Amino acid sequence: MSYGDFLAVHGTRFLSGAIITAEQTVLAAVLAVAIALVMGLMRLSGNVLIRGVSTVYIEIFRGTSLLVQLYWIFFVLPLFGIPLEKFTAGFAAVGMNLGAYGAEVVRGAIQSVPRGQYEAALALNMSPATRMRRIILPQALLIMLPPWGNLMIELLKGTALVSLISVADLMFEAKQINATTFLSIQAFGTALVIYYVMARFLITPFMRWLEVFMARKMGRA
Amino acid sequence: MFDWRWDFAFEIMPRLLWATLNTLLAAGIGYGIALVLGLVFALAQRTRFASLTFIVRELVEFIRSTPLVLQIFFVFYVGPQFGIRLSPWTSGMIAIGLHYAAYLSEVYRAGIESVPRGQWEACWALNLSAGRTYFRIIIPQALPASLPGMGNYMVGIFKDTPMLSVIGVTELMHTANALGSETYRFLEPYTLVGVIFLAISLPTAAGLRWFEAWVRRSLGMGR
């Protein structure tokens, strides 16, 4: 069986798997960005309790494995009366995990906005909320975009684990095709190449474009 | 808590702790491979041969942009197709070692590039061989800059070992899965696995920060 025949037979399965992987990636990314913003801001709060909550969240999700978190969310949460669909559990686990890493990126970016910007906003009698929203966050955004590019690739790779709770993503389809055809190098090799293309030719250019777009929007380009 | 059974938790604890040793062993071997192979990848990108640089560069990019769990499957299943049988341990160590070697090569590369140009010129002026230049002058100075990244990936490799359970390496996650399917109780095994991971990774991370500070101090680099 030539590789062309292999693709003709199994191409649609790779395609449907890649679509699920893309969906998981986008949903997990939205969740991760939301969690990262909230947790990153909470981490900088003056209130000990608020800061404590975000510290505990970040340390738990960065201190354990994504796979452990995924299994915990999928197998243990139902015991507490929170049954999650496997698809939801999948992107929720990935999003919550990367959100913790993102929170540290957000915190670092906010802290690296020059001190004078805070003082200027204070001198203009801005409320803390306005100061954060209008002055600090837009500048922090430019600083945090490059590390977010790396996180997005980690996120895409993280979604491969959802195959282990039987979400029919690209990894899952590759495993299924391997199990029926025993053509391992074709099955797993094709999946590897598709992941590579998604990371290198979709996510990376998109994040680069976003960096340029945002810089132009802030008048920095 | 809701349905938490302490007696069951204590009953499974010895098995989980034994499996933790396997996890630590896997992380240790994998990290050892990654440390050495990462240096090979980093130095291979600094030779005179542009094509070698290109190939290694693309290989590193490829490994870094694809999921580790897929790489583990790839190494484990592709061998038999060509008549090479690799045990789960061997293929797991190859996959995880290669994966982190790619990451570590980037850390080394950044470290080597952080050494001032004058150091290279001085080595050249003193007519030092390439080997002596690297191992006596450049790498010792590149090391402090590389330490934080090396430490992060050490904890990272430890946290990625659960993926080895998918090909049947009997580490922590594999044991928790086995316990779960034997007893139909998932709450205690999976929670304990999480606790064990936290109990190891948090102190390790703190220890690594301390070690970095100590190295920088003892090299007289201040803070």
Whole-model pTM: value is 0.91
Q: Are B62 and A196 in contact (CB under 8 A)?
A: yes
Answer whether residue B210 is part of any domain: yes
Selection from B164, B166, B3, B189 nearest residue A165 by Cα: B166
Whole-angstrom distance, CA of residue B60 vs CA of residue A188? 18
Q: Are A17 and A170 in contact (CB under 8 A)?
A: yes
What is the four-CA torsion angle of B86, B90, B95, B99, rounded to 10 degrees? -160
Nearest-CB residue to B194 (from A72, A161, A185): A72
Selection from A157, A16, A171, A166 nearest residue A86 by Cα: A166
Is A76 an 8 Å CB contact of chain B? Answer: yes
State the CATH architecture for A3-217: Orthogonal Bundle (1.10)
Whole-angstrom distance, CA of residue A196 vs CA of residue B58? 11
CB atoms within 10 A of CB A198: 21
By residue range, what is the domain housing residue B95? 6-218
Answer whether residue B84 is part of any domain: yes
Q: Are A100 and A62 in contact (CB under 8 A)?
A: yes
Q: Are B163 and B174 in contact (CB under 8 A)?
A: no
Rg (C-alpha) for chain A, rounded Å, is 21
Answer whether residue B1 is part of any domain: no
Helix crossing, B6-44 with B50-65: angle to 10°? Answer: 160
For range B87-113, the mean pLDDT: 95
Using CA atoms, how far residue A176 sits from A8, A19, A193, in Å, is 16, 16, 17
Q: Among A184-198, B17-31, B70-84, where is mean pLDDT lowest?
A: B70-84
Using CA atoms, how far residue A114 sits from A111, A131, A138, B11, B60, in Å, is 8, 13, 13, 55, 35
Nearest-CB residue to B186 (from A75, A178, A200): A75
Q: Are A157 and A62 in contact (CB under 8 A)?
A: no
CA of B155: which chain A residue's CA is closest?
A63
A188/B186 CB distance under 8 A: no
Nearest-CB residue to B159 (from A60, A64, A199): A64
Query: Predicted confidence band at B1 (pLDDT cuts at 50, 70, 90)?
Result: low
- Minimal Cα–Cα distance from A195 to chain B, Å? 6
Locate B69 and state its tokens.
Answer: 């769990």
Query: Predicted confidence band at A119 (pLDDT cuts at 50, 70, 90)?
Result: very high
- Minimal Cα–Cα distance from B47 to chain A, Å? 25
Q: When comparing pLDDT for A217 and B59, which is higher?
A: B59
Query: Predicted confidence band at A221 (pLDDT cuts at 50, 70, 90)?
Result: low
CA of A59: which chain B residue's CA is closest?
B202
Locate B16 and state its tokens.
Answer: 């989980």
- Using the predicted structure, report yes or no on whether residue A99 has a pLDDT greater than 60: yes
Locate A46 and state its tokens.
Answer: 């003056």
Q: Is the dihedral of CA A15, A89, B163, B147 positive or negative?
A: positive
Q: How many domains does chain B have?
A: 1
In the block, tokens 């934080």 appear at B148
- What 3-state DSSP class applies to B61? helix
Q: How many CB pairs under 8 A join A and B?
A: 116
ipTM of the complex: 0.91
**Domain extents in chain A:** 3-217
CATH of the domain at B145: 1.10.3720.10
CB atoms within 10 A of CB A62: 18
- Minimal Cα–Cα distance from B67 to chain A, Å? 4
- Using the predicted structure, report yes or no on whether residue A18 has a pLDDT greater than 70: yes
Tens digit of each residue's pLDDT (9 = 90 or more) over A153-176? 999 999 999 999 999 999 999 999
Q: A150: buried, middle or exposed (CB in 10 Å: 19+, 13-18, 0-12)?
A: middle
Q: State the SS3 of A82-108.
A: CCCCHHHHHHHHHHHHHHHHHHHHHHH
Answer whether residue B223 is part of any domain: no
- Minimal Cα–Cα distance from A64 to chain B, Å? 5
Selection from B147, A107, A197 nearest residue B139 by Cα: B147
Rg (C-alpha) for chain B, rounded Å, is 21
Q: State the SS3 of B193-222.
A: HHHHHHHHHHHHHHHHHHHHHHHHHHCCCC
Selection from A64, A63, A66, A22 nearest residue A156 by Cα: A22
Whole-angstrom distance, CA of residue B23 vs CA of residue B27? 6
Report pLDDT for B80.
Answer: 84
B197/A174 CB distance under 8 A: no
